Amino acid sequence: MTLTEIIETFKTKLNPSKTMDSLERTANFYDESENGSGESDSGEDLKSNPYSNSATVAVKSSEATRITLNEKEPLIKLTDVWKIYQMGEVEFAALKGIDLEIYEGEFLVVLGPSGSGKSTLMNLLGCLDLPSKGTVFLNSRDISELAESELARIRGQMIGFIFQSFNLIPTLNTMGNVILPLEFQEEEPEKARQRGEYLLEIVGLSDKKFNLPSQLSGGQRQRVAIARSLAVNPPIILADEPTGNLDTKTGDYILDFLSKLHEKEGKTIIIVTHDLDIVKHATRVVYIRDGEIEKIEERTKNKSEK
């Protein structure tokens, strides 16, 4: 794949729209606290960052920005969704009639063994792929009826992706990868750089700004991907095995961070994984096996489990 092809793929996946005044619209989500007084309850977020001693930024409580007009309407809805892969003469059904409704503010964990269809499902939930059969609704709109450019715009504004394979651009350094979605939104370079600095501090990679992905460890690449997913501060975060390449401490930190985004900012978090440990953060768990939903379990987040 040439660099141009990679960038084109990203433009499609991360959306080139300029309609979103991302930093203004999302200013309520993050607040850059300079005084470090620890007055806000989020002071703990900083102290618990194992990567940064000098963090001066915090995740603060704020009113969640609602996307759905009617909270009884699901944010994402799948009805009888099938994904059938064609391999020569042979067809393989990776998803078989999935019915699923995801509401704003959920922390949904899709749990299943390798090959059960999790990544396939994530691509459909994130509107990166269309089903072979059935319908995917994003905010009550059938995505198959949207033009690709409009879908890309909505997707870029609403969803931050953390892919299983990171999808970092090999020729861009850490900072370049993190702020790429902001460049597609045509954010002012200085604002994008500041946002990049902030996010790299959160994930503890301020000292790796100029490293290329090939000069990073797997866990560090994972953290770049996480920082990038938060660049435009989207209300939905979709993550495929976000802790798959991380040690326990780093994985816990990232999950606590996602959990805070959920609790304090009302972000909708969807994680697909085979890691049972992530379930403790979930408000609902969907068990998937051989492309089918086995069961769905409602949960109340148990703080003592964290």
Residues that bind Mg ion (CB under 5 A): 118-119, 164
Q: Contact positions toward ligand ATP, by CB under 6 A?
A: 85, 87, 92, 94, 112, 114-120, 164, 274
Nearest approach in angstroms of CB 241 to Mg ion is 6
Closer to ligand ATP by CB, 263 or 290: give it. 290
Q: Which does 114 bind (CB under 5 to 8 A by kind): Mg ion, ligand ATP, none?
A: ligand ATP
* Two tokens, residue 135: 């319908």
Task: Identify whether the C-beta of residue 52 lies closer than 8 Å to the C-beta of residue 223.
Answer: no
* Two tokens, residue 268: 């909708």
Nearest approach in angstroms of CB 164 to Mg ion is 5
Whole-angstrom CA distances from 234 to 3, 65, 154 are: 26, 10, 10
Closer to ligand ATP by CB, 241 or 265: give it. 241
Task: Identify whether the C-beta of residue 226 lies closer than 8 Å to the C-beta of residue 168.
Answer: no
Q: Which does 174 bind (CB under 5 to 8 A by kind): Mg ion, ligand ATP, none?
A: none
Nearest approach in angstroms of CB 269 to Mg ion is 17
Task: Identify whether the C-beta of residue 156 lies closer than 8 Å to the C-beta of residue 181.
Answer: yes
Task: Identify whether the C-beta of residue 120 lies closer than 8 Å to the C-beta of residue 98.
Answer: no
Q: Which does 92 bind (CB under 5 to 8 A by kind): Mg ion, ligand ATP, none?
A: ligand ATP
Q: Which does 213 bind (CB under 5 to 8 A by kind): ligand ATP, Mg ion, none?
A: none
Nearest approach in angstroms of CB 197 to ligand ATP is 32
Closer to ligand ATP by CB, 119 or 132: give it. 119
Q: Which does 210 bind (CB under 5 to 8 A by kind): ligand ATP, Mg ion, none?
A: none
Nearest approach in angstroms of CB 37 to ligand ATP is 44
| Cα gap 218→180, rounded to integer Å | 20
| Cα gap 250→239, rounded to integer Å | 16
Closer to Mg ion by CB, 202 or 269: give it. 269
Residue 89 CB partners (closer than 8 Å, separation 6+):
none
Closer to ligand ATP by CB, 28 or 119: give it. 119
Q: Report H helices in the chain.
A: 3-14, 22-25, 43-47, 118-125, 148-158, 174-184, 189-202, 218-229, 248-265
Closer to Mg ion by CB, 172 or 282: give it. 282
Q: Which does 221 bind (CB under 5 to 8 A by kind): Mg ion, ligand ATP, none?
A: none
Q: Which does 112 bind (CB under 5 to 8 A by kind): Mg ion, ligand ATP, none?
A: ligand ATP
Nearest approach in angstroms of CB 198 to ligand ATP is 31
* Beta strands across the sheet bearing 292-298: 159-162, 236-240, 268-273, 107-111, 284-289, 292-298
| Cα gap 3→9, rounded to integer Å | 10
Nearest approach in angstroms of CB 256 to Mg ion is 23
Closer to ligand ATP by CB, 105 or 117: give it. 117
